[in-house]
Amino acid sequence: QKEVEQNSGPLSVPEGAIASLNCTYSDRGSQSFFWYRQYSGKSPELIMSIYSNGDKEDGRFTAQLNKASQYVSLLIRDSQPSDSATYLCAVTTLSGGFKTIFGAGTRLFVKA
């Protein structure tokens, strides 16, 4: 079982729709959860961080964490073509030292 799993996509949504990206993780002791966005040929950049169960909203982005289900998601409202990128879920775990494990990423296409 992979430590952090994401659907590789591509996920295609029309402009203005809600894009829903999902991630599951295997280590119950995981402490911190992040969503990074990576445009083609560029480096990852942080979109959202979440540390406790529930929802966290920042502009058009909402991160949701459910530690009991070992599940974290990212919702993008009013999706724009500029949101087209690969979204990486990252989980920081205590096992083996503080280590951040990245998922393989979900490619999102927002059609104009």
Partner 1 sequence: DTAVSQTPKYLVTQMGNDKSIKCEQNLGHDTMYWYKQDSKKFLKIMFSYNNKELIINETVPNRFSPKSPDKAHLNLHINSLELGDSAVYFCASSPPGLAGSQQYFGPGTRLTVT
- b/e code 29-50 from CB counts within 10 Å (16+ = b): ebeebbbbbbeeeeebeebbeb
- Beta-strand relationship, 11-14 and 106-111: parallel
Q: Work out which of 19, 21, 74, 88 binds partner 1, going by CB under 8 A.
A: 88
**CB of 19: closest distance to partner 1 in angstroms?**
18
Closer residue to partner 1 in complex, CB, 16/59: 59
Judged by CB under 8 A, the chain residues 27 through 46 that form the site for partner 1 are 31-32, 34, 38, 42-46
> Rule CB under 8 A: is residue 54 a binding residue for partner 1?
no
> Rule CB under 8 A: is residue 86 a binding residue for partner 1?
yes
Q: How far apart are CA 35 and CA 10, in angstroms?
A: 17
- Beta-strand relationship, 61-66 and 85-93: unpaired
- Chain residues that interact with partner 1, rule: CB under 8 A: 31-32, 34, 38, 42-46, 49, 51, 86, 88, 90, 92, 96-102, 104-105
